[in-house]
Amino acid sequence: MPKLRKARREEVHLLSDLALKSKSHWDYSEEFINDCVEVLTIDESYINSNHVFVLENRDTIVGFFSFIKEVEKNRLDFLYIHHDYIGKGYGKRIWSDVMATAKELDIEVFTIDSDPNARLFYDAERQCLAPAPSHSDHFSPLPAAIARIRRNRSLFEH
């Protein structure tokens, strides 16, 4: 049974590799994937400074996510599923963990920057993706939404 836990500093290379391979799943050009390496690299300071969680199944990391608390807002920075586990229900599970973790961290509102290929995932979760200016350049062309956590449910705004 999958379980959620905090990421460990010694997992930085594993998580960076998982994010890059997950991004590669969507048939981007090799040039674009190479451009993503720096943005998708996680180091120890990132894990020490942010809320980073992994979803494990039988001691295998199948996905991870992180929240960054910025000066004026909270942001869901990473949400990746290992490419071998995409389409197998882990996205739905990790999304549930994202929402539960936000509530536990007393995060009432957070933003989501999304890859265009994640739109179907968010749509399936009955969430909406609203195009807006992105702070992440071309790596996150569709900032997804603003999530508000209220009494065991989330509301998404355009």
- Over the chain (158 residues), the average pLDDT of each successive run of 10 is 95 96 90 92 95 96 91 86 92 91 86 73 56 44 51 42
What is the structure's pLDDT at 109?
80
- Residue 36: which residues within 8 A CB-CB, separation 6 or more? 20, 23, 28, 139
**Which domains, from first to last, does the chain contain?**
3-157 (3.40.630.30)
Tell me the pTM.
0.80
Please give the backbone phi and psi of residue 104, each rounded to the nearest 5 degrees, phi first. -65, -35
